[in-house]
C-alpha cells in the first residue's frame, strides 16, 4: 500500500557540477512550493558563510556520521574531497507516507543511488550555459594554481557525463528562467497519468 502511494508522489532530484548554481534555484523553488519537503543532507564539512544548520545541511561530526552509517540511517551516502555527505532515510520516508513530494539536492553520484532507491524519481541536471562559463566560475572559486584548476574542471566534466541519464537539463543562463523551468517540470510531473490514477479511476471501465 505504502509503495503504491509513494509512486504517486513526486521525488525530485537536482544535481549540478560545482558552480552550477543549483542551491539558489532549489531555494526559490521551495519558496514557491512550501509543501515540497526538502531532504536536508548530513555532512561532516564545515558550514560555508550563509549556510544554516538544519536548513542547508545538518552539520555533524565524523563520529556521528559513522554511527549513522553503521545504524543504516542513510538512504545513500558518499565521500567528496574528504568530507562525508549522507541522506537520512527516516525523514524522507515519513514525508512520503504523508503524501508529500520530496526534493533532493545531491551530487550526481548521490543521484545515482537515489535512482536505485526511487526509480520513478524525476531527475534534473543543472548546467552552466556553456563550457566557458563553467571554467570561468570554477576559476573564480579560489586562488589555486593552474593544475588545481585543471583538476577541478576535469572533475566537473566527470560529473557532467552523468547528465545523460537524467530526465531534464536546465542550462542556467539566468536565474529566473531556470527557476521557471524547474517549476514547470514539477507542475508537469504532477499531472503525469501514472500519478493521477486515483482521480482517473471514476472514469475508467473495469
Does position 65 interact with a second copy (CB under 8 A)? The reply is no
Q: Does 168 bind a second copy (CB under 8 A)?
A: yes
Q: Is 119 in the site for a second copy (CB under 8 A)?
A: no
* Comparison of 95 and 120: residue with beta carbon closer to a second copy: 120
Looking at beta carbons only, is 28 or 169 nearer to a second copy? 169
- What angle (nearest 5°) sits at the alpha carbon of residue 38, between those of residues 33 and 44? 155
Residue 175 touching a second copy (CB under 8 A): no
- CA–CA distance from 27 to each of 9, 16, 101, 174, 202 (Å)? 20, 14, 15, 15, 37
Closest CA to 76 of 33, 105, 34: 105
Cβ-contact 117, 3 below 8 angstroms? no
According to the binding rule CB under 8 A, does residue 16 interact with a second copy? no
Minimum distance, C-beta of residue 77 to a second copy, in the bound complex (Å): 26
Which residue reads 536546465 in cell numbers? 170
Of 22-30, 81-89, 98-106, 195-203, which part binds a second copy (CB under 8 A)?
195-203
- From residue 94, alpha-carbon distances to 2, 81, 143, 168 in Å are 11, 31, 43, 27
Q: According to CB under 8 A, which one of 32, 157, 175, 198 is a site residue for a second copy?
A: 157
Q: Specify the residue for cell string 520516508.
A: 93
Residue with Cβ nearer a second copy (29 or 77) = 29
Map grid coordinates 532549489 to a residue.
26
Residue 101 Cβ, how far from a second copy at the closest point, in Å? 15
Which residues contact a second copy (rule: CB under 8 A)?
A: 125, 127, 130-131, 134, 157, 160-161, 163-164, 166-171, 180-181, 183-189, 191-193, 196, 199-200, 202-205
Amino acid at each position: 500500500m505504502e509503495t503504491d502511494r509513494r509512486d504517486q508522489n513526486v521525488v525530485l532530484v537536482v544535481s549540478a557540477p560545482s558552480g552550477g548554481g543549483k542551491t539558489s534555484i532549489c531555494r526559490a523553488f521551495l519558496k514557491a512550493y512550501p509543501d515540497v519537503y526538502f531532504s536536508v543532507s548530513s555532512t561532516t564539512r564545515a558550514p560555508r558563510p550563509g549556510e544554516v544548520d538544519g536548513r542547508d545541511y545538518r552539520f555533524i561530526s565524523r563520529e556521528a556520521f559513522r554511527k549513522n552509517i553503521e545504524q543504516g540511517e542513510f538512504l545513500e551516502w558518499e565521500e567528496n574531497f574528504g568530507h562525508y555527505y549522507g541522506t537520512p532515510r527516516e525523514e524522507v520516508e515519513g514525508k512520503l507516507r504523508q503524501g508529500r513530494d520530496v526534493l533532493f539536492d545531491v551530487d550526481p553520484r548521490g543521484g545515482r543511488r537515489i535512482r536505485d532507491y526511487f526509480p520513478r524519481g524525476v531527475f534534473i541536471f543543472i548546467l552552466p550555459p556553456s563550457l566557458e562559463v563553467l571554467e570561468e566560475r570554477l576559476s573564480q572559486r579560489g586562488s589555486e594554481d593552474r593544475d588545481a584548476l585543471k583538476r577541478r574542471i576535469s572533475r566537473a566534466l566527470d560529473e557532467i557525463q552523468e547528465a545523460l541519464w537524467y530526465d531534464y537539463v536546465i542550462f542556467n543562463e539566468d536565474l529566473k528562467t531556470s527557476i521557471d523551468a524547474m517549476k514547470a517540470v514539477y507542475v508537469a510531473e504532477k499531472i503525469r497519468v501514472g500519478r493521477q490514477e486515483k482521480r482517473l479511476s471514476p472514469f475508467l471501465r473495469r
